Structure 1
Amino acid sequence: MDDNTPNPDVLPVLVLGVSLDRPGHRPAYNGLKVLSRLRERGYEPGYLAGDLAYNNSEPEEWQLRVRALGYKPVYDYRVDQLGKQAETQGAILVEGTWYCPSMPEPLIDATKDLHAERIDRGTWIRLIAARKPYRLMPKENEDAEGHQRVMCPAEAGKAQCPIKPHTLNRGIHLPLVDPEPSPIGPVKVCRQRSITLAPAEGAKHWQVLDFGGAEWQKVYFRLRNSVESYNGYAKNPLAEGIEASGTRRIRGIAAQTVLLVFQLAHANRRKIKNWVETLALDGRRPRRRTHHRRRTKPIGSWTPTGYLKPTG
Structure 2
Amino acid sequence: MTCRPHRHLVGATTSQAAKPSLAKRYLFGFDAHLAVTRDTQHIKPLLDDGTPDPDVLPALVVGLCLDKPGERPAYNGLKTIRRLRERGYTPGFLAGDRAYDNSEPHEWQLPVRALGYKPVYDYRVDQLGDQGGAQGSILVEGTWYCPSMPESLIEATSDLHAGRIDRETWAARIAARKPYRLMPEEREDSEGHQRMMCPAESGKVQCPLKPRSIGSGVHLPLVDPLPSPTGPLKVCRQRAITLAPEEGAKHWQALDYGDEEWQKIYFRLRNSVEGFNGFAKSPLAETIESSRSRPIRGLAAQTILLVFQLAHANRRKITTWLDSLALGGQRPIRRTNRRRKTKPLGTWTPTGHLTPAT
Q: Same fold (TM over 0.5)?
A: yes
Of the three residues 263, 278, 284, the one matched with 2:309 is 263
**Which residue number in structure 2 is paired with residue 244 of structure 1?**
290
CA distance in 1, matches of 2:314, 2:80: 17
Unmatched segments (≥5 aa) in structure 1: 296-308
Residue 283 of structure 1 and its aligned partner are, at CA, apart by 3.5
Do structure 1's residue 89 and structure 2's residue 140 form an aligned pair? no
Task: Report the counterpart of residue 70 of structure 1 in structure 2.
Answer: 116
Where do 4+ consecutive residues of structure 1 move more than 4 Å?
Answer: 291-295
Find the partner of 2:272 among 222, 226, 234: 226
Secondary structure in 2 matching 1:249 = coil
Aligned to 1:193: 239
Which of 49, 61, 83 is the aligned partner of 2:95?
49
| CA-CA distance at 1:251 after TM superposition | 1.4
Change (3 A) 1:108 1:292: closer
- The alignment status of 1:5 with 2:31, answered yes or no, reads no
1:31 paired to 2:89: no
- SS of match in other structure, 1:20: strand
- Mapping for residues 141-180 of structure 1, pairs under 5 Å: 141-180=187-226
Q: Matches of 2:318 and 2:253 in 1, distance apart?
A: 32
Distance 1:294 1:23, change over 3 A: closer
Distance 1:180 1:254 in 2: 60
Q: CA deviation at 1:269?
A: 0.7
Q: Deviations over 1:172-217 (max 9, x none)?
A: 2100001001111000000000000101100000000000111101
Structure 2 residue ranges without an equivalent (≥5): 1-46, 342-354
Indicate the residue corresponding to 1:17 in structure 2.
Answer: 63
Identify the structure with the greater strand proportion. 2
Q: Distance in 1 between matches of 2:301 and 2:314?
A: 20
Structure 1 length normalisation: TM-score?
A: 0.92
Cα root mean square deviation, aligned: 1.8
Deviation at 1:282, TM superposition (A): 3.5
Secondary structure at 2:66's aligned position in 1?
Answer: coil
Q: CA deviation at 1:294?
A: 9.5
